[in-house]
């Protein structure tokens, strides 16, 4: 099963200083990965924001490019219309859009966010530390 990478997975996987870098890096190994415009631009927005990581844009773009070159994720367009997403609140808009996009393309949304209640979501931290859960993305 292919996994669309949530922004938080991209950030953790790419930034060595991220607290969950080792978890993300270990999880990525051997997975069928997918990115989209929303996950890639979300990565750039988060890591370049001066109050979050403050990485200069050229450095962030190069890091994303290196990640894509190394892991060769499939790229899917953000081809789901916003009104087809199942978000019910403003807090759910981006998360549910990505989860619904993943579902539309028969994928899972790989994320660290345990608050997303959606059938297409695979929470990574739970998979690594839980012996009862098997990994669906592989």
pLDDT in tens, 21-76: 999 999 999 999 999 999 999 999 999 999 999 999 999 999 999 999 999 999 99
Separation of alpha carbons 58 and 60, rounded Å: 5
Is the model's pLDDT at 7 over the cut of 90?
yes
Question: Residue 68 sits in a domain of what CATH number?
Answer: 3.40.50.1010
Number of domains making up the chain: 1
- What is the pLDDT at residue 19? 93
What are the backbone angles phi and psi of residue 123, rounded to the nearest 5°?
Answer: -85, 120
What are the tens digits of pLDDT across the range 80-122?
999 999 999 999 999 999 999 999 999 999 999 999 999 999 9
Q: State the residue range of the domain holding 65.
A: 2-129
Inside any domain, residue 134: no
Residue 34 included in any domain? yes
* Residue 136 belongs to a domain: no
């Amino acid at each position: 099963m292919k996994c669309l990478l949530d922004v938080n997975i991209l950030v953790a996987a790419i930034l060595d200083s991220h607290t969950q870098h080792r978890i993300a890096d270990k999880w990525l190994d051997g997975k069928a990965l997918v990115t989209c415009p929303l996950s890639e631009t979300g990565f750039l927005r988060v890591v370049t924001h001066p109050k979050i990581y403050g990485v200069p844009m050229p450095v962030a773009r190069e890091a994303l490019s290196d990640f894509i070159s190394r892991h060769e994720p499939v790229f899917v367009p953000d081809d789901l219309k916003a009104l087809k997403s199942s978000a019910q609140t403003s807090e759910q808009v981006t998360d549910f859009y990505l989860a619904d996009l993943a579902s539309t393309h028969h994928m899972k949304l790989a994320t660290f966010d345990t608050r997303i209640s959606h059938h297409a979501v695979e929470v990574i931290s739970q998979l690594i530390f839980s012996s009862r859960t098997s990994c669906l993305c592989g």
